[in-house]
Amino acid sequence: MDAQIEQRVKQWLSDDYDADTREAVRRLQEQDPQELADSFYRTLEFGTGGLRGLMGPGTNRMNKYTVGMATQGYANYLNQCFPGGVKVAIAHDSRNNSRFFAETAAQVFAANGIEVYLFADMRPTPELSFAIRRLGCQGGVVCTASHNPKEYNGYKAYWDDGSQLVPPHDKNVINEVEKIASVKAVKWSGGEHRIHALGADMDEAYIQMVKGLSIYPEVIKEQSDLKIVYTPIHGTGIKLVPDVLKAFGFNNVHVVAEQATPDGNFPTVAYPNPEESEAMSYGLKLAKELDADILCGTDPDADRLAIGVRNDKGEWILMNGNQTAVLAFNYLIEARKSKGIAQPNDMVITTIVTTPMIDVIAEKNKVGCYRVLTGFKWIADLIRQKEGSENYVIGGEESFGLMIGDQIRDKDGVSAVALLCEMAAVERSNGRSLYQKMIDLYVQYGLYKEKLISITKKGMDGQAQIAAMMDGYRNNPPQTINGVAVARIYDYQWRQVKDLPSGATTPLDLPASNVLIFQLADGSQIAARPSGTEPKIKFYFSVHAPLPDASQHDRVDAELEKDIMGIIHDMQLNG
């Protein structure tokens, strides 16, 4: 075994660690040397979004000690930045050990002289962002691994505006965390009197905030019997989504019973991810049985939303994240204009890998539209920069995330459920479905079709394989893809756009990020983006064509699907 791994294992077998942890390490030594090596070959990285990893003993795992050391570093930085006193809010999801990790973080913060507001039970991640702003906190933490499999957990750090960390704070916190070289440097206890419980009062304030986002309450009153099916997929959404829908005025809400109970083992799904049709299968079944108007699902920490609707053939289909975002962006732009509450300085924000259809809709409606790096912290950062000069309306990205209004600064599946249900009510009052509205938008703006492929490289060399893949695309880029010339390459690492026909380059005014986008001569786009938290690389494909009328949707959609599959085949991404 590697000498560094051996040294780390030896350290974790010392009296600095509790008896249960030492026993778990010994068990790995005896029964699973490969798992032992993977658990100790590196230190779980505190990245710009915090921690995320498999749970278990070891330096490369989520456990009491990695969480405690991360919290000590973050506490040190907060105390440096705010010498007059620090407050933090902490929340957690329904995952196994999430409560334990949240309590561990609370105890370490409190031992460092920080006032802690800890939710008494699991809560959706967006409520944490709201609570930070409402309580005037300087920071916050949520313990969640979002939609990852049950073996994972995570730790996301927030700043005083309720957003996840952005420069310079992200790197500064990382530096402070890396200075914590031993568990002996962690203040584990001694400030318990500084820990305060959050509960129903914060819930009610959040619910009222979301209710204030409604644009057509009078339509909901007429359509209060809209038949809604909702699944929290064993997560935190059950805490707030039914109450928010009730506050909006909907009285015909059906929760999927098999997935209503919070459970970190996620017994009915392989992955608790509403992007996966398998995770939504119970909801689809109930929606069919009840002949519902809309199906909604949220992930375990309720920051992502998926919806299902019936198509014109009466079949239930799941909208992808780009389609959901298009519906939401268009709705707020249209509804605000119709209600006379649109402002000349309204703006919307999306990300570099989200459908270009949003830009087209915004431009046609004379609404400012900005693109930022992937992640809602960048949307929040731009809101911060534009405050006082432009009026933020909505932000979103293809990964099933929406952020409506500026009273929170992270994606919010709870308010997104309410907004999409209001949209369904408005369309029903017009004698249409959300699916028909989507087709109408395609006729108006063109049919945009997107696809996402994720490739995972497991093991200790997974990250290296992905790095080599990106180096190949960057240093030897393709000249054509699927027979179409590559016109431009957007390199966000080098912060430049290269025009291939002329060879000219222009700068990109965004922070550096390891993302490449190939824009083809016909307007198609392919983006390659490695994950920052997993040995995974994502490829995003976007193609489009005019849709003359609704009757031709299936034909044009099939042609675009063929284009995407041709691109995937040409790039040898079939697997």
Q: Catalytic residue numbers?
A: 146
User: CA-CA distance, 480 to 521, in Å (whole number)?
Assistant: 9
Write phi, then psi, for 25 (nearest 5 degrees). -65, -45
The residues, ordered by sequence, that sit 6+ positions from 426 with a Cβ below 8 Å of its Cβ are 216, 219, 223, 331, 335
User: Within 10 Å of residue 175's Cβ, how many Cβ atoms?
Assistant: 13
The residues, ordered by sequence, that sit 6+ positions from 554 with a Cβ below 8 Å of its Cβ are none
Amino acid identity of residue 61, one-letter, is R
β-pairing verdict for 228-231 and 294-298:
parallel
**Using an 8 Å Cβ cutoff, are 226 and 424 in contact?**
yes
Amino acid identity of residue 319, one-letter, is M
Amino acid identity of residue 260, one-letter, is A
Packing angle of the helix pair 321-339, 434-445 (nearest 10 deg): 90
According to DSSP, residue 164 is labeled B
CA distances (Å), 570 to each of 456, 478, 480, 566, 573, in order?
20, 10, 9, 6, 8
The residues, ordered by sequence, that sit 6+ positions from 340 with a Cβ below 8 Å of its Cβ are none
- Within 263-385, strands assigned E span 294-298, 305-310, 316-318, 346-351, 368-372
* Full DSSP string of 90-142: EEE-SSTTHHHHHHHHHHHHHHTT-EEEEESS---HHHHHHHHHHHT-SEEEE
Packing angle of the helix pair 200-211, 125-135 (nearest 10 deg): 100
According to DSSP, residue 483 is labeled T
User: CA-CA distance, 263 to 418, in Å (whole number)?
Assistant: 24
User: CA-CA distance, 486 to 374, in Å (whole number)?
Assistant: 23
User: Within 10 Å of residue 30's Cβ, how many Cβ atoms?
Assistant: 9
**Using an 8 Å Cβ cutoff, are 80 and 62 in contact?**
no
Q: Which two tokens stand for residue 572?
A: 């040898």
CA distances (Å), 226 to each of 253, 288, 331, in order?
8, 15, 18
Judging by beta carbons within 10 Å of its beta carbon (0-12, 13-18, 19+), is residue 176 exposed, middle or buried?
buried
Write phi, then psi, for 395 (nearest 5 degrees). -135, 155
**Using an 8 Å Cβ cutoff, are 94 and 235 in contact?**
yes
**Using an 8 Å Cβ cutoff, are 516 and 489 in contact?**
yes
